[in-house]
Structure 1
Amino acid sequence: MPDIIQLLPDSVANQIAAGEVVQRPASVIKELVENAIDANATEIVISIVDAGRTIIQVTDNGKGMSDTDARMAFERHATSKIRTADDIFSIRSMGFRGEALASIAAVSHTELKTRMAEHEIGTKISIKASQVESQTPISCPIGSTFTVKNLFYNIPARRKFLKTNQTEFKYILSEIFQIALAHPHIGFTIFKDEELYAKYPISNSKQRIVNIFGKRLEKGLLAIEGETSIVKISGFIGTPDLAKKNNYDQFLFVNNRFFRQKSYQHAIMRAYEQLIPAREYPPFFVFFDIDPSQIDVNIHPTKTEIKFVEEYNICQLLEASIKHALGKSNIVPSLDFMDTEDYSDMFAISKNATIKVPGIEVRADYNPFASDKMSHSTSEKQTTQGWEQLFEGFESKPAVTQQTFRSAINNNEEPESEPTNCIQIQKKYILTTGKTGLMLIDIKRAHSRILYEKFIAQLTQGQRPIQRTLLPIHIELSYTESEILQELLPHLHTIGFDIECFGKNSFVINGTPPDIEFSKVEDIIHSFINDYNERSESLQSDIQKAIARSMAKSSALYRNPIMQPDEMQTFIAQLFQCNMHAISADGLTAVVLLEYDEIFKKFNT
């Protein structure tokens, strides 16, 4: 039997490595920009065409490379950063493994132009699928220019799985901004399809944050600092009023390298407890400066997952530092004694009711020491005899179980023909009678279902009329939100929104659908963006349902003023005209049923 195990050719091995290092165009840009930073560049220019599918170009003014280094840089495991295994645990540069350029060159047409300051002539090298096609002298500026064309041209399967240009560009921006935030001392210029997209000059950390995320953060950023023998923590956090329903503005860096760590994110959120609503997220930009020997950045190809030796202690310092910054700004949890709307009608007294003034009846001739003790003891015995039997079995038989209440979605339960028996509970629920039991309706969820089916019906009818705003409504978004909204604009116009771009990340709303309250427009736009970003691929296939769901969720009633009986009857009638009346617009239970049979059993067992 012949031998079957053999070494793979370098070109094949590089393609396999590219699967780990080069996952999409954003990965290429990350690796090339990090190389520019390691080359001590102070200005980096990034050009993207067709979301990186056609051209990616990164130009820097760093120290450049010699002829020999330029060719050697594309060999696997060729690096200037480390010499021994011990160097891996003291590395401070962005790249060090020597895999990126070899992986990029294996799946594209790659060209490098580079020159060192001490050389009058630079070098140009062209590589296709890991094979060097040419290397020639060339006149070029000091620094390096990497041009990557036709990414994944030789791996059709990988190219096929790239997402839309808008989505891929969003990933590209995310990588660029993660690096730009960590290096405010470097200027960044971005070109998109040969047009200037953004320019971020050399600045300080706070100004770089404002340049990227907009002026809405400028006045709400609080500086944090904390230092021990283990770590130094610095950066900025947002005031609670800047919290949003997404976490696009949350960044962690260690030694100027972006990373993700749930334990640190949880520590930050604990510091904001009772300061922000549930499921909202404050912006933060936190930098850790730590001895490289105390972390391991080599556990993941993208280097975004990092292990810390003193993770618990750092979490404690981080939480304390943020609480201190919030405290210095007089931002502390408040006790809202005025929020009594849930209980306002719990002890209501009629206006015409006669109120009896509390009083105490006193018997002047009463002598406690002269009373007949035996008469009292006899009375006690008479009242306590057999009391155990009255409550026998109550502890072993719970009054209400999970099976007692059932979702009305599991059956065809309907209200009575004229549901006159309606009670509103804590302004959140309606209790009414059905054919087979009592129904408890969640007002907000039920209203979202009513609105959802109404919006769906309207959307299928085509272009809708627009109600014009008296004054334009200005909204400012993050870069990620801005890209998503740009993609959604044609669909939003179809349903009656008139929204125009008003600068890099700013938009003006001139009109909305007729049934949208102007005060809720910004919340609805953010809801669109959040839903689309979380489930973009599935939403693209049925954008109308996605938009209708977001509009319904944002417009639904919450803690509605007290509803009159006729209003509740109309509300219930509208709900049960819906195709799926028992669930909300986003699939949550809206109606639960307590069957009459279950009630009978509870009182007859």
Structure 2
Amino acid sequence: MGNIQVLDDHTINQIAAGEVIERPASVVKELIENSLDAGAKNIWIRIEEGGTSLIVVRDDGNGMDRLDAEYAFKKHATSKIRIFDDLQTVNTSGFRGEALPSIASISRLRMATAAKDSKLGTRITIEGENEPNIEDFATPQGTKIEVADLFFNTPVRSKYLKRISTELQHIVKIVTIEAIRRPDVAFNLEHGERKIIDAPKSDLKTRIGVLLGNDAAKELIEIKGDSEDFQIRGFLTKPAISRRTTSGLYLHINGRPVQARNVCYSIKGAYGSLLHDGHFPLGALFIEIPKIDVDVNVHPAKTIVRIAKEEQVNKKIRVVINETLAEHALIAHVDLSGSKTSFDSITAANTKTKPRQLNNIDSLQQEFEVDFHQHDVKETNMPTMRPLALVENKYIVALGLDGVFIIDFHAAHERVMYERLKEQMRFKRIGTQNLLAPISLELSKTETNAFERMLSEINDMGFEAEKFGPSSFMIRGVPALLAGSEPERIREAIDDVVESGSMKSAEDRHQHMMYTVACHSALRAGDKLTMAQMEFVIREMESIPNPYACVHGRPTVMTITPNELDKKFKRSGF
């Protein structure tokens, strides 16, 4: 007998099930996709013990007649495609014909289904690889599938399942993905007696609010763009609402939920420094590109796709998001729910407290009158406001037509200085201020080598630095923006520049130095501002393109609307 043999059906199904069904969440995903493809408008999901003991998915879709119900459990039997070329234009969620036979091969499964206007439905019961039991059954239009004892006949697989809470999290994620994808369909998820998700039919913005929370819902911006062979629709949060991972970002290509790491980073790149370092916005985007440019047949899970012109698509995404952000006042709302209101720390500009006085603060306007305003600058649509008071020498309280605004003046001024520095670099007009007392640096061998390699970059940034010994350097001048700072702040800035020498990328070093100069030349928390100086900070914010986040991605301004104050003071209805 030869060494190569054809595998029996049982082994083939077990292998296929291992690719398609990784955990209970995979079952839920496949069954929901079948319901959506069947035209369901309501989908009910019930699970027990994280889906390991029971998964029930019921819908009000088209249902199946007896013949289709029997064929549904045959390998690669599908209503979605007929020939290979159909894969180029497939519109349905599923198309491989693997899900139901794979699930049935590793569980105890029962399906009840009835087509529209049929007098009698069909019930099919399958236990692992046993022959199905098929019978007539009275059931309403739609399909109900019960999957019990998942992996009962593959104990090795069940051994690697995680805790119930972990498996439940994966199922919640899957239902969330599908519910965001189809806001026109109602979703209901229950775990035991506990209702986890109750998402009635709605529009996309409302659905995002139901599933991602009110904080995200209040800060959503509509994203909309069209060009040749490209369309993008959806909502993303303002920079103030973000996460360290892409878990709150739901991407769809031609209606299909996908994992697209490069697209996520393109979205992040469009926000630039408005986002906190390493963070991503929340929301959902629906991207339409020619179907022939997308390969959906990469993996049985169908969540990974290949895009033929990926860089072009990413560029178009960045342009649309960038332009949209530029059109909006990206001011987050202060969450007043459950917060305690205290005005004890609010100090008017003429307060008698004695915080640290600014060094040369009265010369602010003269100090910052570089050639910035001589060039065309795209102004923001930041609301007009006037300062009222200073809170703990950190926050400016201002009043505008849209309500009360709270400004973190260090973060705001840091952004102003960064935009000034960017503009000066664009026109190669960075000014240098000579120091009355040059600063001497004694560095380690590693720092010396790095600093020496960066010397030209450092001097291009407005510093005047030169080597003074084997491991020492003399700083004779600093960027003009730093000129009014105290000596210790200048020294801190230089130390931060030294730290950037460990960065491998020249672009990262350059960006770090720009952030450093902006941060150390900005007003600091604890500086006591006069009313005129607060006014100056606000006017400067209005003159730059991105005043809504500091260079580290922290928000610079938040608002409290009159409506929110009414709710807090329980004046609704008065």
TM-score range normalised by the length of the shorter chain: 0.5 to 0.7
Q: Structure 1, residues 278-333: CA drift from partner, whole Å, max 9, x if none?
A: 12222131101223222111011211111112212211111111111111114469
Measured in 1, the distance between the counterparts of 2:302 and 2:468 equals: 56
Q: Does structure 2 conserve the Cα–Cα contact (< 8 Å) formed by 1:11 and 1:129?
A: no
Equivalent position of 1:155 in the other structure: 154
Cα 1:194/1:424, change in 2 over 3 Å: same
Q: Structure 1, residues 432-451: CA drift from partner, whole Å, max 9, x if none?
A: xxxxxxxx99xxxxxxxxxx
Please tell me whether Structure 1 or Structure 2 has the larger radius of gyration of its CA atoms: 1
Pick aligned residue for 1:336 from 407, 411, 414: 414
The SS at the match of 2:319 is: helix
Measured in 1, the distance between the counterparts of 2:56 and 2:222 equals: 36
Q: Does structure 1 conserve the Cα–Cα contact (< 8 Å) formed by 2:208 and 2:283?
A: no
Measured in 1, the distance between the counterparts of 2:172 and 2:436 equals: 57
Cα 1:327/1:112, change in 2 over 3 Å: same
Equivalent position of 1:259 in the other structure: 258
Q: Structure 1, residues 73-112: CA drift from partner, whole Å, max 9, x if none?
A: 1111111111111001110100000011111011000110
Give 1:144 deviation, angstroms.
Answer: 0.4
Measured in 1, the distance between the counterparts of 2:26 and 2:492 equals: 48
Measured in 2, the distance between the counterparts of 1:7 and 1:97 equals: 22
Residue type matched to 1:294 in 2?
D
State, as a whole percentage, how many aligned pairs show the same letter.
32
The SS at the match of 1:13 is: helix
Stretch deviating more after TM superposition (129-138 or 292-301): 129-138
Measured in 1, the distance between the counterparts of 2:138 and 2:436 equals: 88
Measured in 1, the distance between the counterparts of 2:171 and 2:283 equals: 21
Residue 324 (structure 1) aligned with residue 323 (structure 2): yes
Equivalent position of 2:175 in the other structure: 176
Measured in 2, the distance between the counterparts of 1:83 and 1:396 equals: 77
Q: Does structure 2 conserve the Cα–Cα contact (< 8 Å) formed by 1:49 and 1:194?
A: no
The SS at the match of 2:209 is: helix
Give 1:398 deviation, angstroms.
Answer: 5.7
* TM alignment of 1:285-324, pairs within 5 A: 285-324=284-323
Residue 88 (structure 1) aligned with residue 166 (structure 2): no
The SS at the match of 2:45 is: strand
Measured in 1, the distance between the counterparts of 2:308 and 2:89 equals: 14
Q: Does structure 1 conserve the Cα–Cα contact (< 8 Å) formed by 2:268 and 2:279?
A: no
The SS at the match of 1:74 is: coil
Measured in 2, the distance between the counterparts of 1:159 and 1:399 equals: 63
Equivalent position of 2:223 in the other structure: 224
* TM alignment of 1:480-559, pairs within 5 A: none
The SS at the match of 2:7 is: coil
Equivalent position of 1:353 in the other structure: none
The normalised TM-score by structure 2 is: 0.59
Give 1:66 deviation, angstroms.
Answer: 1.1
* TM alignment of 1:203-602, pairs within 5 A: 203-331=202-330, 336=414
- Runs of 5+ consecutive residues of structure 1 not aligned to the other structure: 341-345, 350-393, 401-422, 432-439, 442-558, 563-605
Measured in 2, the distance between the counterparts of 1:246 and 1:267 equals: 14
Measured in 2, the distance between the counterparts of 1:249 and 1:43 equals: 24
Q: Give the superposed CA RMSD.
A: 3.1
Equivalent position of 1:198 in the other structure: 197
Measured in 1, the distance between the counterparts of 2:58 and 2:321 equals: 38
Equivalent position of 1:476 in the other structure: none
Q: Count matched residues.
A: 365
Give 1:277 deviation, angstroms.
Answer: 2.2
Measured in 2, the distance between the counterparts of 1:141 and 1:103 equals: 26
Equivalent position of 2:186 in the other structure: 187
Stretch deviating more after TM superposition (215-224 or 95-104): 215-224
Give 1:173 deviation, angstroms.
Answer: 0.8
Cα 1:335/1:108, change in 2 over 3 Å: same
The SS at the match of 1:131 is: coil
* TM alignment of 1:42-57, pairs within 5 A: 42-57=41-56
Measured in 1, the distance between the counterparts of 2:21 and 2:184 equals: 27
Measured in 1, the distance between the counterparts of 2:490 and 2:70 equals: 73
The SS at the match of 2:277 is: coil
Measured in 1, the distance between the counterparts of 2:469 and 2:76 equals: 70
Q: Structure 1, residues 203-237: CA drift from partner, whole Å, max 9, x if none?
A: 01111001111111222111011112212101011
Cα 1:427/1:150, change in 2 over 3 Å: farther
Residue type matched to 1:199 in 2?
D
Give 1:47 deviation, angstroms.
Answer: 0.5
Measured in 1, the distance between the counterparts of 2:35 and 2:73 equals: 15
Equivalent position of 1:16 in the other structure: 15
- Runs of 5+ consecutive residues of structure 2 not aligned to the other structure: 331-379, 383-411, 419-433, 438-466, 474-486, 500-523, 528-574
Give 1:6 deviation, angstroms.
Answer: 2.3
Cα 1:96/1:155, change in 2 over 3 Å: same
Measured in 1, the distance between the counterparts of 2:194 and 2:241 equals: 32
Cα 1:329/1:134, change in 2 over 3 Å: same
Q: Structure 1, residues 499-526: CA drift from partner, whole Å, max 9, x if none?
A: xxxxxxxxxxxxxxxxxxxxxxxxxxxx
Cα 1:297/1:13, change in 2 over 3 Å: same
Cα 1:427/1:281, change in 2 over 3 Å: farther
Give 1:53 deviation, angstroms.
Answer: 0.4
Equivalent position of 2:31 in the other structure: 32
The SS at the match of 2:280 is: coil
The SS at the match of 1:272 is: helix
Q: Does structure 2 conserve the Cα–Cα contact (< 8 Å) formed by 1:243 and 1:281?
A: yes
Measured in 2, the distance between the counterparts of 1:335 and 1:55 equals: 57
Residue type matched to 1:183 in 2?
R
Give 1:339 deviation, angstroms.
Answer: 7.9
Residue 122 (structure 1) aligned with residue 121 (structure 2): yes
Which structure carries more relative contact order (alpha carbon 8 Å, separation 6+)?
Answer: 2
Measured in 2, the distance between the counterparts of 1:348 and 1:10 equals: 86
Give 1:195 deviation, angstroms.
Answer: 3.1
